[in-house]
Amino acid sequence: MTSRTLIFIAASAFCFNAFAQIDSRSASTCPPDWQMSDRQLQGEWTASMAGGEETARMVLGPHPDWEGNVKGRISRPGSSHPMVGDVNEGTVTLEESADGSRITGTWLGEVVDGSCGTEIHGNYQEGENAPPRAFIMRKARP
């Protein structure tokens, strides 16, 4: 082997190692004992359905009557509904109501590993008989 080949191999190995270290640091930014709670669920979120162009906006705060729960609103183009929810053993449950009394939509999701509660993936079900649709929620603001 020529010295140029050896230098190229060494430089390539160095660059590959540096990129691997950067990737591993960015993927593990959450503390090891981090767990999702209702506090991380509070704030402004955007949500989109798989295969759809519609985006919903959720604004959630602490529930005034039920400690450990959130309450807020979900807004879509042309509508806005009340919403409540909680986090139980890492599973996020949000329920919306178009009429203010019965559940008309349920969001069940899990926090994406490494996102520290800023991204949630799951399924949305409108009513009781509609098929579930995959969703992605991303935190817009705390």
pLDDT in tens, 29-84: 788 778 899 999 999 999 999 878 889 999 999 999 999 999 999 999 999 999 99
How many other C-beta atoms are found inside a 10 Å radius of the C-beta of residue 107? 22
Q: Which of 42, 56, 59 is nearest to 126 (CA)?
A: 56
- Lowest average pLDDT, out of 4-18, 75-89, 115-129, goes to 4-18
For the chain, the average pLDDT equals 83
- Return all residues near 75 (Cβ < 8 A) that are at least 6 apart: 56, 57, 58, 59
| pLDDT value for 12 | 42
Name the more confident of 22 and 90. Answer: 90
Which of 31-40, 81-90, 91-100, 107-116 has the lowest average pLDDT? 31-40
Mean pLDDT lowest among 16-25, 84-93, 109-118, 121-130: 16-25
Q: What percent of the chain has pLDDT over 90?
A: 64
Contact indicator for 94, 82 with CB cutoff of 8 Å:
no
Q: What is the pLDDT of residue 117?
A: 93
Q: What is the Rg, in whole angstroms, of the alpha carbon atoms belonging to the chain? A: 21
